[in-house]
Amino acid sequence: MRRFLTWLIGLPTAILLVGFAVANRTWVDVSLDPFDRSNPSVFLQMPLWSVMVLGIFLGLVAGWIGAWINQGRWRRHARALRHDNERLRVENERLQVEIDDHTRPLQRDTGLIGTA
């Protein structure tokens, strides 16, 4: 079902993006100078469709970075739990060895050679 929905949404979106790119092949000036609109000191010339694709890409990257930063506390919590689990595993093994030592039947020393 998920694959069907991906095709149902993805295919028309891809067709629209290709159509937009073909229809907007003209080159535009993208100004990076907020102070001088008539004669910008920093600008790029690129096709209009690439401006849109670049904007979508930068938005995705900004969203991924924001989500990664927001999830930092959960990663920190998981790391602390992993350390606690490891510490408890080591302590459990140590206590198991200690229990095994105490529950082993005591052997009497008879003083004879060859008896343990």
Per-residue pLDDT tens digits for 15-53: 998 888 888 888 988 888 888 878 888 888 999 888 888
Check whether 95 has a pLDDT greater than 90: yes
Report the domain count for the chain.
Answer: 2
Q: 59 and 28, same structural domain?
A: yes
Q: 75 and 61, same structural domain?
A: no
Q: 52 and 27, same structural domain?
A: yes
Give a yes or no: residue 110 inside a domain: no
What token pair was written down for 30? Answer: 């993208």
Q: 61 and 75, same structural domain?
A: no
Give a yes or no: residue 46 inside a domain: yes
Q: Which domain holds residue 75?
A: 71-101
Q: Which strand (E) or helix (H) includes residue 88? A: helix 72-103
Q: 92 and 76, same structural domain?
A: yes
Classify residue 111 as left (phi > 0), alpha (psi -120 to 50) or beta.
Answer: left
What percent of the chain has a predicted confidence (pLDDT) above 70? 91
